[in-house]
Amino acid sequence: QLQLRESGPGLVQPSETLSLTCTVSGGSISSTDHYWAWIRQPPGKGLEWITSSYYRGTTYYNPTLKSRVTVSVDTSKNQFSLKLTSVTAADTAVYYCARVTYTSSWRRRFDPWGQGILLTVSS
Amino acid sequence: SYVLTQPPSVSVAPGQTARIACGGNNAGRKTVHWYQQRPGQAPVLVVYDDGDRPSGIPERFSGSSSGSTATLTISRVEAGDEADYYCQVWDGTTDHYVFGTGTKVTVL
């Protein structure tokens, strides 16, 4: 059974860079049938897609965050990572990683999800 | 950008049927997926590809789609169904994933 787990600091200073890692177990991140995604949820608010990456490098970005986001995939460690630069209090959220399954180019869903990690931006 | 609109809340008595709408421009022509998020937990996929259920999801959960609206139906509602529900599509025009605004289901 595939599982994902997010890791990273719980607190980030304003204007600094947020770094998170998602470790995948029970399956390979090099799967040709899946992408790997980051999604966030500010406290009390809805879900916001951040980015999705294929292990060979194709990446899609939420246009509102694209200029601040960097994604990397480490197949040797079965991990993928997110960096978000110049963070502000508005970036405070629970960050989830998830696998994207696509059965065709227009059928893309997130399943499963990691448990999530709360990142607080504060001095 | 593409927007999916859901009602903020739906209230339903135990044993009754809850219907959650997800509306957007030609939403019925896009493939819609639905997620359940219980308080303090990560979202869980409950319906995918408009109307299919992942293994382990009760048959009480079903999905349909027509025109500009997709609908998640929860039959014979139980107390454990109380959660936030989100719809989601892939917008091939922009290569973006879009979530609905979310609906809080309250079991009376």
A56-97, pLDDT tens digit by residue? 878 999 999 999 999 999 999 999 999 999 999 999 999 999
Is the CA virtual torsion B27, B28, B32, B34 positive or negative? Answer: positive
Task: Kindly tell me the number of DSSP H helices and DSSP E strands found in chain A.
Answer: 0, 11
| Cis ω for the linkage preceding A112 (within 30 of 0) | yes
Contact between chains at B45 and A60 (C-beta distance less than 8 A): no
Interface test with B, best of A58, A107, A115 (most B CBs within 10 A): A107
Q: Among B30, B49, B97, select the one facing A49 at the smallest CB separation.
A: B97
- pLDDT given for residue A56 in this prediction: 86
Cβ partners under 8 Å of residue B29, min gap 6: none
Confidence check: pLDDT of B28 > 90:
no
What pLDDT is attached to residue A87? 98
**Distance of alpha carbon A10 from its chain centroid, rounded?**
15
Nearest to A47 among B41, B43, B92 (CB): B43
Helix (H) or strand (E) holding B89: strand B83-91
CA distance A22 to chain B (A): 15
pLDDT digits (tens, 9 = 90+) for B47-93: 999 999 999 999 999 999 988 899 999 999 999 999 999 999 998 88
Beta bridge pairs of residue B86: B35
Q: Which residue has the higher pLDDT, A33 or B13?
A: B13
Residue A52 has its nearest CB partner, among B33, B88, B97, at B97
Residues from B contacting A (CB-CB < 8 Å) are 1, 30-31, 33, 35, 41-45, 48-49, 54, 86, 88, 90, 92, 94-102
Q: Which residue from A64, A107, A103 is spatially nearest to B91, judged by alpha carbons?
A: A107
Q: Tell me the average pLDDT across A15-42.
A: 95
Query: What percent of chain B clears pLDDT 90, i.e. is strictly above it?
Result: 83
Share of chain B above pLDDT 70, in %: 100
Per the CB < 8 Å rule, is A108 touching B90? Answer: yes
Query: What's the pLDDT score for residue B25?
Result: 79
Instruction: Band the pLDDT of A103: cuts 50, 70, 90.
Output: confident
Q: How far is A2 from chain B (nearest CA, A)?
A: 14
Question: Cβ B42–A115 below 8 Å, yes or no?
Answer: yes
| pLDDT score at B92 | 87
